Amino acid sequence: MVSVTMFCASGSMPCETAKEKVGCKTDSVPDRRKKPGKNRERRGFDFLVIYLLLLLAFAGMGLSMFRIFHLEKELAELRESASAEHIPPALEKLIGQKESMKKERKAAHLTGSPSQQGLPLEWEPISGHAYTSDIQYRDRGLVINETGLYFVYSNVLFRGNVCDSQVLTHIVYKRNPSSPGSYVLMEDKGINYCTGHRTWARKSNLGALFSLRKMDSVHVNVSKIALVNFEESKTFFGLFKL
């Protein structure tokens, strides 16, 4: 140990070198081979944290869905158990409006019928495109069962093989048991619609809004039944309530 001290003091060799040769204690060098293990442990910990966060998020979503389902179930039970006298007036009015909207609109569409026996014109109320919804077809007319504003329409196709220049008239009118006679709603007259002796055709279309009373009946007249084409797409008549 003495020789080491002197040797270092002589200056022949740096003290640091001498210390290395005799095993002098020096600062330890960190072992870098230990780091991969630590990195793996850290990554494993990170994955565990992410997994726990995801698990917590999914658990929260599931709990929210369960609460929503439970609330909807309670609301459905409340609706079923609520009676009319327990419904607030405002809510009762809203429910009544929705129920009225579900009702079918008062309407009717009649198509031409080839079996005619005088005037006013007869119509087909059921077959093909024809139908009636809360409107009655009676005595060759549509009977109004509720006062209100209605759109009334009628289409008639006239055709012939000979042109004799006679006036073609198409009329829509109404009647009411409480009033005598009839009242013309719409009228169309056709003149100069053909020339010579060739085959011809003329369409007459009427439509407008009218305020109709309960028990009014609406009918259609023409000047020449023999000249009317009664195909359902050519001659028809109807109305609907606004």
In a domain, 70, yes or no: no
Q: Is the pLDDT of residue 83 over 60?
A: no
pLDDT band of residue 81 (cuts 50, 70, 90) is: low
| Count of beta carbons in the 10 Å neighbourhood of residue 65 | 10
Of residues 205 and 47, more confidence is placed in 205
Write the pLDDT tens digit of every residue in 2-33.
444 444 444 445 545 444 444 445 455 555 55
- Which two three-digit tokens encode residue 125? 């109320």
Q: Write down the number of H helices and E strands in the chain.
A: 4, 12
Look at residue 161 in the predicted model and tell me its pLDDT.
87
Look at residue 5 in the predicted model and tell me its pLDDT.
46
In a domain, 204, yes or no: yes
> Distance between CA 26 and CA 20 in Å, rounded?
8
State how many domains the chain has: 1
In degrees, rounded to 5, the angle at the alpha carbon of residue 59 between the alpha carbons of residues 54 and 61 is 95
Per-residue CA distances from 48 to 35, 40, 58, 207, 229 (Å): 20, 12, 15, 77, 84
Q: Tokens 């009015």 — which residue? A: 93
- Which two three-digit tokens encode residue 116? 């005619």
pLDDT band of residue 35 (cuts 50, 70, 90) is: low
Q: Is the pLDDT of residue 108 over 50?
A: yes
- Please return the burial class of 75, using the count of CB atoms within 10 Å of its CB with bins 0-12, 13-18 and 19+: exposed
Record the pTM.
0.58
| Count of beta carbons in the 10 Å neighbourhood of residue 157 | 19
In a domain, 198, yes or no: yes
In a domain, 150, yes or no: yes
In a domain, 37, yes or no: no
In a domain, 35, yes or no: no
CA 155 to chain centre: 31
**CATH code assigned at 115:** 2.60.120.40
Look at residue 98 in the predicted model and tell me its pLDDT.
56
Phi/psi of residue 36, nearest 5 degrees: -55, -40
Q: Give me the percent of the chain exceeding a pLDDT of 70.
A: 73
Q: Is the pLDDT of residue 99 over 90?
A: no
In a domain, 187, yes or no: yes
For the chain, the average pLDDT equals 80
Rounded average pLDDT over 225-238 = 95
Look at residue 59 in the predicted model and tell me its pLDDT.
78
Least confident of 52-56, 142-146, 187-191: 52-56
Rounded average pLDDT over 82-101 = 57
- Which two three-digit tokens encode residue 169? 């008239």
Least confident of 47-56, 103-112, 157-166, 173-182: 47-56
The residue segments making up the domain with residue 148 are 107-241
Look at residue 132 in the predicted model and tell me its pLDDT.
95
Q: Write out the E strands in the chain.
A: 107-112, 123-124, 131-133, 136-138, 141-143, 148-160, 168-176, 179-190, 200-212, 217-222, 228-229, 236-241
In a domain, 133, yes or no: yes
